[in-house]
A and B are shown apart, each in its own frame.
Chain A
Amino acid sequence: MKVIVPVKRVPDTAGDKPLDPHDGTLDRDRVEMVLCPMNEYSIEEAVRLKEQHGAEVRVLLVGPQSAQSVVRKALSYGLDSAVQISDDAIAGSDAIATAKVIAAALRQEEFDLILMGAQATDARTSIVPAAVAELLGLPALTYARRLQIDGDRVTVDRESDEGWDVVESTLPAVVSVVEAINEPRYPSFKGIMAAKSKPLDVKQLSELGLDASEVGLAHSWAEVLDFEPRPPKEPGRQVHDDGTGEVGAQALVDWLVEHKIL
């Protein structure tokens, strides 16, 4: 079985998030960038498929040259090889344009399963998995909290608002995972060392047969016009309870009444 794990490089949530004042996109030169935490779960699921089904797992990342450290990081979990699509023309692509690049890259690969994160922690659109599936004419079983592969059958417990839907399809397919699916392991020292010499192909758009006019900031249909920091909140009120709950509860009730909740 061949599995491809598309991973995204995202700004570290705990750090600052400066926007480029010119085009309103994130100023990626000034923030600390990491492997998207949601991809730790898709990677872990792929590692389990390696263990259970002897799957061969390949990493795919669309992003600038400098994102190579994130590709290596993904490989350090014990994955086999990687392909990175880097091209200046991709910069500023929206979710659909990014999906076009990923789909074009996947057309040159052999695979049974594409394992993605349910949402990237930066833009949080959750658009890429279904868009990639659509572009490739594949089923998409998204928001998986459980994944089972049985021959060419794929079954997923798809997280819903009330519980989950058991959904199934045939391979090849796209699956995206939520955190509940597993508990990711840390990369081993051996894995980290081995990642440095795992095969990594770097490709440009032209090698994917994709025209620069289909992607990039100028060819993304969703366009950021402007942005502003959220106005600061007025400082709130703090009340210390007296240890019995009475003072705290009374303050809460008064406040709820004042705000017409009660």
Chain B
Amino acid sequence: MSELLVLIDHAGGAPRKVSTQMLTRARVLAAATVSPVSAVGVGAGAARTADRLGQFGAQKLYVWDSEEATRYVTLPVVEALQQVFERSGARRLLFPSTNFHKDVAARLAVRLGAGIITDASDLQLSDGDMIVSKDVFGGATITRSHVRGDRPALIGVKPNAFAAEEVAGGPVEVVDLDVALSDEARRSRVVEVVAQAAGDRPDVGEASIVVAGGRGLGDASGFELIGELADVLGAGVGASRAAADAGWIPHRHQIGQTGKTVAPQLYIGAGISGAIQHRAGMQTSQLIVAINKDPEAPIFQIADLGVVGDLYKVVPRLIEEIRRRQG
């Protein structure tokens, strides 16, 4: 069988969690078909991911470790992947189902005549066919899809769909790509990267625990409390649209139908009513906790634990208690 490719997301050489999660799953799928797992890394620092990726089962790393790849929008990754498909004869790619990578996959699908399925929450093999489960309609329905025929398949995997597990892997074979960017690729430039300091706090789309705040916080300072709870739990910070619209927190933290879809191990919502548009972005979380002073708030319908109370009373005590336990 041809190689199973996994597009790595990394920050300057440190693989993001979704990368090791995909590799873990790829390993299991590839074992069933006796095909090797090859990672693909693009951008400055990408070569430094090799050892870490090996620990999660990558046997090969196709890499284009270059500043140039970071200077233009989307197409450097597309053109690197095109080369990998050509060189390896691979037919399948797993990619992180995140905003920027969806752009990459969309363009690549057109170039390769490939089929594309985004937001996979599970992957199974059936007679050699890759079957992709995904949540639709805000998690109310689960569909199973595949890419038909012998088309190349590009499968977007949602962060936290799989748990990452290390293996005692051998050394990773590093294959350097030699990408000569097209003129088209050079037409869209990245002029500046504005990163707002989040400290060690994980990104909301990828965190295993998410603490989210809503209108019930009352004002922007409420997010200091939410952030404090997030930090003692090692969680990312999310928000309802009401809170994002009020300008209390940037839109990229918004969870819901028109924001991010998160499926962490644990979601904690405080001062969020649980409108259907919000639930559409979080109801596939494994565990859901809600803190709300209104016992009738719809979020309690999907909460595994609901605390009816004032968040400004409950959350500070909770933080205190967690800190005490952590010593």
User: With A126-B99, A162-B196 given, is the CB distance from A168 to B107 under 8 Å?
Assistant: no
Could you tell me if A162 and B73 are in contact, using CB atoms closer than 8 angstroms?
Answer: no
Question: For the complex, would chain B's binding face be called helix, strand, loop or mixed by DSSP majority?
Answer: mixed
Residue among A125, A133, A140, A221 with the highest chain B CB neighbour number at 10 A: A221
Interface residues of B in 274-327 (CB under 8 A from A): 276-277, 280, 284, 287-289, 291, 295, 300, 302-310, 313-318, 320-322, 325
When the two chains form the complex, which single residue of B109, B252, B291, B308 contacts A160, counting CB atoms closer than 8 Å? B252
A237 within 8 A of B: yes
CA distance A129 to B104 in the complex (A): 11
A139 within 8 A of B: yes
Could you tell me if A127 and B139 are in contact, using CB atoms closer than 8 angstroms?
Answer: no
A212 within 8 A of B: no
Stretch at the interface among A1-9, A66-74, A223-231: A223-231
Could you tell me if A124 and B119 are in contact, using CB atoms closer than 8 angstroms?
Answer: yes
User: With A140-B103, A255-B289 given, is the CB distance from A13 to B276 under 8 Å?
Assistant: yes
CA distance A178 to B291 in the complex (A): 29
Count of A-B contacts with CB under 8 A?
Answer: 277
Complex interface bits, A123-152 against B, C-beta within 8 A gives 1, otherwise 0: 111111111011101011111010000000
Q: Which residue of A has the minimal Cβ distance to B73?
A: A167
When the two chains form the complex, which single residue of B143, B205, B303, B320 contacts A24, counting CB atoms closer than 8 Å? B143
User: With A252-B314, A255-B289, A261-B266 given, is the CB distance from A134 to B252 under 8 Å?
Assistant: no
Q: Name the distance in Å between B106's Cβ and chain A's nearest Cβ.
A: 4
B195 within 8 A of A: yes
Interface residues of A in 220-262 (CB under 8 A from B): 220-230, 233, 236-241, 243-253, 255-256, 259, 261-262
Could you tell me if B145 and A222 are in contact, using CB atoms closer than 8 angstroms?
Answer: yes
Q: Which residue of B has the minimal Cβ distance to A259?
A: B287
Could you tell me if A13 and B291 are in contact, using CB atoms closer than 8 angstroms?
Answer: no
Could you tell me if B107 and A161 are in contact, using CB atoms closer than 8 angstroms?
Answer: no
Question: For the complex, would chain A's binding face be called helix, strand, loop or mixed by DSSP majority?
Answer: mixed
CA distance A129 to B105 in the complex (A): 12
A95 within 8 A of B: yes
Q: Name the distance in Å between B208's Cβ and chain A's nearest Cβ.
A: 10
Could you tell me if B116 and A96 are in contact, using CB atoms closer than 8 angstroms?
Answer: yes
Could you tell me if B314 and A130 are in contact, using CB atoms closer than 8 angstroms?
Answer: no
Q: Name the distance in Å between A154's Cβ and chain B's nearest Cβ.
A: 9
Stretch at the interface among B60-68, B171-179, B215-223, B253-261: B253-261
Taking CB atoms, residues of chain B closer than 8 Å to A13 are 138, 257, 276-277, 280
Taking CB atoms, residues of chain A closer than 8 Å to B148 are 221-223
Q: Which residue of A has the minimal Cβ distance to B281?
A: A124
CA distance A106 to B261 in the complex (A): 31
CA distance A119 to B258 in the complex (A): 8
When the two chains form the complex, which single residue of B102, B233, B277, B310 contacts A130, counting CB atoms closer than 8 Å? B102
Could you tell me if B106 and A131 are in contact, using CB atoms closer than 8 angstroms?
Answer: yes
Q: Name the distance in Å between B251's Cβ and chain A's nearest Cβ.
A: 4
Could you tell me if B131 and A131 are in contact, using CB atoms closer than 8 angstroms?
Answer: no
Q: Name the distance in Å between B217's Cβ and chain A's nearest Cβ.
A: 15
Residue among A125, A244, A262 with the highest chain B CB neighbour number at 10 A: A125
User: With A24-B143, A225-B146, A238-B300 given, is the CB distance from A96 to B110 under 8 Å?
Assistant: yes
Could you tell me if B250 and A180 are in contact, using CB atoms closer than 8 angstroms?
Answer: yes
Q: Which residue of A has the minimal Cβ distance to B324?
A: A253
Taking CB atoms, residues of chain A closer than 8 Å to B307 are 238-241, 248, 251-252
Taking CB atoms, residues of chain A closer than 8 Å to B146 are 222-223, 225
Interface residues of B in 102-125 (CB under 8 A from A): 102-107, 109-111, 114-119
Could you tell me if B252 and A161 are in contact, using CB atoms closer than 8 angstroms?
Answer: yes
A165 within 8 A of B: yes
Could you tell me if A178 and B251 are in contact, using CB atoms closer than 8 angstroms?
Answer: yes
A195 within 8 A of B: no
Taking CB atoms, residues of chain A closer than 8 Å to B252 are 159-161, 163, 180
- A–B pairs, 12, beta carbons within 8 Å: A129-B106, A130-B102, A163-B252, A165-B190, A169-B73, A179-B254, A221-B151, A237-B306, A239-B306, A245-B313, A248-B318, A253-B325
Identify the 7 closest CB pairs spanning chains A and B, nearest first: A241-B309, A221-B115, A245-B313, A180-B251, A249-B317, A130-B106, A248-B314
A contact set with B: CB distance below 8 Å: 13-14, 17, 19, 24, 37-38, 94-96, 99, 118-119, 121-131, 133-135, 137, 139-143, 145, 155, 157-170, 173, 178-180, 220-230, 233, 236-241, 243-253, 255-256, 259, 261-262
